[in-house]
Structure 1
Amino acid sequence: MKHKLWNKVVGITTKVGTVLVASALGVTFSAVPATAATDTNLSDFNNSVEDSAASQVRGGAVKTIGNQAVASASDASEDAMPDNSSQKLPDKVSSAIPDNAMVVSKDLATTADGQIKNIETGAPVTDPKLVGTADQQPDPLTKTNGMRFIPVEAGKVKEAVAANGGDVQASTASSNASASKATTTGTVRNAALQNNQYGAYWGSYNGTQAFFERGGNLFAQQAKGVVDVSEHQGYINWDAAKNSGVEGAIIRVAFGWGNRLDYQAARNVNECKRLGIPFGVYFYSYAYDYDTATQEGFDAVNKLRQLGINPGDLSYPVYYDLENWSWTGHTPPTNPWVYDSMVSTWYWCLQHFGYNNLSVYSYTYYLNTALNTGNIRSKTRWVASYGARTNFGYSTNDRGWQYADNGWVNGIGNVDLNAFGNRTYQSSVGIVTFPNQEMVGVCGVVAGPHRNVEYQWMAYNLSTNTWKAIAWWQDSNCAEWRDNAGDYWLHLDVRDKQTHNSIGNQTLPTHYKLNASINGIYLGWQGDQMLLGAASNDSQGKYVIKLYDENAQRWFTAFYSQWALWRPYHGRFWARYELYTSDGRFVDTRTYNFSV
Structure 2
Amino acid sequence: SEDLAVTPEGEVKNIETGETVTDATLVGTQDQQPDPLAKTNGESFIPVSAEDVKNAVADANVQLSKFEGNEYGAHWGTHNNTKAFFDYQNNLFVQQAKGVIDVSEWQGDIDWAKAKADGVEGVIIRLGYGWGNNADRKAQRNISECKRFGIPFGIYWYSYADTPSIAKEEGAGVVAKLKRFGVRASDLAYPVYYDLEKWTWKGHQPPTDPNVYNDIVNNWYGALQSAGYKNLGVYSYTSYLQGPLKHADIYAKTTWVAQYGARMGFDSFPTNSRGWQYTSSGKVGGIRGNVDMNAFGNKEYVDKNNSNNATSYEVKGDMGVEWRSIGAEKSVIGKPIANEVCDWTQGRVNCYQNFENGAISWTPSTGAHYTTGTIRKEWARRNYEHGVLGYPIEDEKKLSNDWKYQRFQNGDIWSHGTKESRIVLYNLRDSFYKNGGYSSLGGPVADEENMGR
User: Structure 2-normalised TM-score?
Assistant: 0.65
Taking the aligned partners of 2:167 and 2:73, their CA distance within structure 1 comes to 37
Structure 1 unpaired stretches of 5+:
1-104, 166-186, 432-443, 446-507, 517-596
Could you say which structure has the higher strand fraction?
1
Instruction: Name 1:116's counterpart in structure 2.
Output: 12
Q: d(CA) in 2 for partners of 1:354 and 1:430? A: 31
Q: Amino acid of the residue matched to residue 171 of structure 2?
A: G
SS at match of 1:202: strand
SS of alignment partner, residue 273 of structure 1? helix
TM-score (norm 1): 0.49
Corresponding residue of 2:122: 248
Alignment CA distance shift 1:511-1:400 (3 Å): closer
* Structure 1 residues 224 and 164: alpha-carbon distance in aligned structure 2, compared to 1, 3 A threshold: closer
CA distance in 1, matches of 2:210, 2:124: 26
Contact 1:280 1:318 in 2 (8 A): yes
Q: How many residues align?
A: 313
Counterpart in 1 of 2:420? none
Distance in structure 2 (CA, Å) of the matches to 1:513 and 1:409: 45
Instruction: Kindly indicate whether residue 201 of structure 2 is the aligned counterpart of residue 305 of structure 1.
Output: no
* Cα RMSD (Å): 2.9
Kept in 2, the 8 Å contact 1:109–1:154? The answer is no
State the partner residue of 1:417.
Answer: 293
Shift, 1:213, TM fit: 1.2
The letter of the residue matching 1:266 is: Q
CA contact (8 A) 1:188 1:406 kept: no
Give the residue type in structure 2 aligned to 1:408.
K
Summarize the Cα distance change of 1:509–1:143 in structure 2 as closer, same or farther, 3 Å threshold: closer
Q: 1 CA distance for matches of 2:274 and 2:163?
A: 27
The structure showing larger relative contact order (alpha-carbon pairs under 8 Å, at least 6 residues apart) is 1
Q: What is the alpha-carbon distance in structure 2 between the residues aligned to residue 397 and residue 164 of structure 1?
A: 33
Q: How does 1:196-595 map to 2 (within 5 A)?
A: 196-393=70-267, 394-413=269-288, 414-427=290-303
1:234-284 deviations in Å (ceiling 9; x for gaps): 110000000000000000000001101111100100111111110000000
Work out which of the residue numbers 132, 153, 158 in structure 1 matches 2:28.
132
Q: Contact 1:227–1:417 at 8 Å: present in 2 too?
A: yes
Shift of residue 199, structure 1, vs aligned partner: 1.0
- In 2, Cα distance between the equivalents of 1:514 and 1:113? 58
Amino acid at match of 1:424: E
Q: What is the alpha-carbon distance in structure 2 between the residues aligned to residue 369 and residue 113 of structure 1?
A: 17
* Correspondence for 2:384: none
**Relative to 1, partners in 2 of residues 1:510 and 1:259: Cα closer, same or farther, differing over 3 Å?**
closer
Cα deviation per residue 1:113-151 (whole Å; 9 max; x = unaligned)?
332222333211000111111111011101111010101
User: CA offset at residue 209 of structure 1?
Assistant: 1.0
For residues 161 and 45 of structure 2, the distance between their equivalents in structure 1, rounded to whole angstroms, comes to 19
Structure 2: gaps of 5 or more residues:
308-315, 318-336, 346-453
The superposition leaves residues 499-543 of structure 1 with CA deviations (integer Å, 9 ceiling, x where unpaired) of xxxxxxxxx998999999xxxxxxxxxxxxxxxxxxxxxxxxxxx
**Cα 1:371–1:514 shift into 2, 3 Å:** closer
Computing the radius of gyration from Cα coordinates, the structure with the larger value is 1
Aligned partner of 2:438 in structure 1 is none
Change in Cα spacing, 1:430 to 1:304, as seen in structure 2 (3 Å) is farther
Structure 1 residues 327 and 512 mapped into 2: Cα distance closer, same or farther (>3 Å)?
closer
Q: List per-residue Cα deviations over 1:427-478 (Å, max 9, x = no partner).
A: 46899xxxxxxxxxxxx99xxxxxxxxxxxxxxxxxxxxxxxxxxxxxxxxx
CA distance in 2, matches of 1:296, 1:426: 35
8 Å Cα contact 1:115/1:329 also seen in 2: no
Q: Name the residue aligned to 1:97.
A: none
Contact 1:298–1:349 (Cα < 8 Å) also in 2: yes
Shift of 1:350: 0.4
Q: CA deviation at 1:378?
A: 1.2
- Which of 130, 146, 151 is equivalent to 2:42? 146
CA distance in 1, matches of 2:199, 2:133: 16
Structure 1 distance, partners of 2:147, 2:119, is 17
Q: Percent identity?
A: 56
Measured in 2, the distance between the counterparts of 1:509 and 1:107 equals 57
Distance 1:189 1:317, change over 3 A: same
